[in-house]
Chain A
Amino acid sequence: MGFYDRLGDFPILTLFVATLIIVLLSYEGGFRAGRWRSRRPKREQEVVVRSMVGTMLGLLTFILAFTFWLAATHFDAARQALLNEANAIRTAYLRADLLPEPQRAEIRDLLRKYVDVRLEGARSGKIDQAIAQSEVLHAQLWSQAIAVREKTSSPILMGYFIQSLNDLISLHSRRLMVGREFRIPGTIWIVLFVVMPLASASIGCHGGLTEESRPLVAVAFVLTVSVVMTLIADLDTPRKGSLMVSQQALTDLRNTMNAAND
């Protein structure tokens, strides 16, 4: 499912135009089919078609709304994960005070570097590189913390630090998961791209059966559906498009750390 899962990765504008064209073409196809059939002697009854079209629209609306909700949840999760991570880093930074020197200074340096790596990764878009660097830093942080074990006088205080360090590492992998896997599943995209043209063709067909010309509202319908689809894709990729998760929490944290260092 690799290809379909990455459907949201298409540039937003491409997706918008593609959706628009698909919906318009299927409407037009449905309209022509309906008009052609309405000229034949034994025709479909308008009421029969009407109730079916209503249901089809209801189904499309429900699926679109639900997928939108799913994408919005994912976007929120990405934002939340970033906030949690900033908090965990801050906690670990503060709790480093519980450790003896020289590990304290060492660990604080590493944590500052960690925030830099993450901000840099978000800014330059070199995510894979930032992930690799972060994981190296995790290992360094951990070995510094364990080095304290031998000579600490108070294991309880050290336990606090260990806890915050584990949180930090877990939140790193949570952010990875949110970024990589909290996506709209490929099958849902396929279903959307099947139901959407079907619904639009049915409306077109209904229109063709009853009227001679295409109503202007059809354009509004096509536009609305395309805009919602685009918005879903945009929400689904928190790292690009016009909707992006703000890195402000990490930037603020970096500034506090620098201030504390001076």
Chain B
Amino acid sequence: MQFHGLLDALPIWALFVATLALALLSFEGGFWVGGRSSQLSDPQQEKVVSRLVGGILGLLAFIVGFTFSVAASHFDARRQALHDEVNAIRTAYLRADLLQDPHRSEIRNLLREYVDVRSEGRRSEKIEEAITRSEELQDRLWSQTVAAKENTSNSAFIGNFIQSLNEVFTLHSRRVSAGLEARIPDVIWLVICGITMLAAASIGYHAGLTRSRRAPVAPALILAFSVVILLIADLERPLGGFLEVDQKAMTDLRNKMNAQTR
């Protein structure tokens, strides 16, 4: 997780500039080394180098593309988890109607607070604190529900409510794991960085070896890869960054709950 800390601490644009700069430097390095080596006597030899460079580039494209799709699925999973949670909270809030009165309003207040804590935590980015507060509220919700059990005539109603409350708890942990734990492993990031540098260096080497000019295509290729890596980092970042899961569903729920109390 340390590497993630590092990645998350950097602003997205700094990451982009760093990737771009490192890749361009590797290209220059490769170009310099290639230019220093003796010119190839046998054209056959050049073909071997060309194949090898093609192979490295193909591998890089594949790994970057694959990581991109993993990051996009993580993004989708976070969105889905938020949405399921909002639905579960709404259902529990409605079903509180099935309980008798001091418990009913008590539980509704707790649920309102729960929604507040969750949207507030998301807004202020104090995630750890919001998780702790949410779990406290879950305990209180549960003890209210158990207390409601004592003075009810209808155990079937309690059962319906309990079902929806358990759903809320389950979805809390799913959101935590989708949001904070489902990340691209550090090793994959390291591999992407390593292969990007190697690939840039080998294009440079190839160009240097054949005594070619620096083709304008090389910076274009490096730019394209940097942009895609930027996108991956952005999709992966649960907080901050350009892409964030839209919290509208939670805000809507909160507004509706507040409207009902008045």
Interface residues of A (CB under 8 A from B): 1, 33, 37, 40, 42-45, 47-49, 51-56, 58-60, 62-63, 66, 70, 135, 142, 146, 149, 155-156, 158-159, 162-163, 166, 169-170, 173-174, 176-177, 180-182, 185-188, 191, 194-195, 198-199, 201-202, 205-206
Would you mind naming 26 contact pairs between A and B with Cβ atoms under 8 Å apart? A47-B206, A48-B203, A48-B210, A51-B53, A51-B54, A55-B221, A62-B62, A63-B65, A63-B68, A66-B72, A142-B97, A146-B98, A159-B156, A159-B157, A163-B160, A166-B95, A173-B90, A177-B79, A177-B249, A181-B79, A181-B246, A187-B231, A187-B243, A191-B228, A195-B224, A198-B220
Q: B94 contacts which chain A residues (CB < 8 A)?
A: 142, 166, 169
Interface residues of B (CB under 8 A from A): 46, 50, 53-54, 57-58, 60-62, 64-65, 68-69, 72, 75, 79, 83, 86-87, 90-91, 94-95, 97-98, 154, 156-157, 159-160, 164, 203, 206-207, 210-218, 220-221, 223-225, 227-228, 230-231, 234-235, 242-243, 246, 248-249, 256
B68, A173: Cβ atoms closer than 8 Å: no
Q: B57 contacts which chain A residues (CB < 8 A)?
A: 51-52, 54-55, 58
A195, B156: Cβ atoms closer than 8 Å: no
Q: A149 contacts which chain B residues (CB < 8 A)?
A: 97-98, 157
B160, A162: Cβ atoms closer than 8 Å: yes
Q: How far is the CA of A26 from the CA of B108 in the complex (A)?
A: 59
Q: How far is the CA of A146 from the CA of B104 in the complex (A)?
A: 13
Q: A53-B217, A55-B58, A206-B217 are in contact. List 8 more A-B contacts (CB 8 A).
A: A44-B215, A58-B57, A156-B156, A158-B156, A173-B83, A181-B246, A186-B242, A205-B217
- Name the CB-closest residue of B to A184: B72
Q: A170 contacts which chain B residues (CB < 8 A)?
A: 87, 90-91
B75, A185: Cβ atoms closer than 8 Å: yes
CB B60 to nearest CB in A, in angstroms, measures: 7
Contact of B220 among A37, A191, A202 (CB under 8 A): A202
Q: A52 contacts which chain B residues (CB < 8 A)?
A: 57, 203, 215, 217-218, 221
The main secondary structure of chain A at its interface with chain B is helix
Q: A70 contacts which chain B residues (CB < 8 A)?
A: 72
Q: A162 contacts which chain B residues (CB < 8 A)?
A: 95, 98, 160
Give the top 8 A-B pairs by smallest Cβ distance, nearest first: A62-B65, A45-B212, A55-B57, A155-B156, A170-B87, A45-B210, A44-B215, A58-B61
- Name the CB-closest residue of A to B253: A173
Q: A181 contacts which chain B residues (CB < 8 A)?
A: 79, 246, 248-249
B83, A177: Cβ atoms closer than 8 Å: yes
Q: A43 contacts which chain B residues (CB < 8 A)?
A: 212-213
Most A-side CB within 10 Å, residue of B157, B220, B243: B220
Q: B214 contacts which chain A residues (CB < 8 A)?
A: 44
CB A84 to nearest CB in B, in angstroms, measures: 13
Most A-side CB within 10 Å, residue of B46, B60, B62, B156: B156
Contact of A173 among B50, B53, B249 (CB under 8 A): B249
Given A55-B61, A58-B61, A199-B224, answer yes or no on A187-B218 (Cβ-Cβ < 8 Å).
no
CB A47 to nearest CB in B, in angstroms, measures: 5
CB B30 to nearest CB in A, in angstroms, measures: 11
Contact of A62 among B54, B61, B223, B246 (CB under 8 A): B61
Q: How far is the CA of A188 from the CA of B68 in the complex (A)?
A: 10
Q: How far is the CA of A195 from the CA of B246 in the complex (A)?
A: 26
CB A198 to nearest CB in B, in angstroms, measures: 5
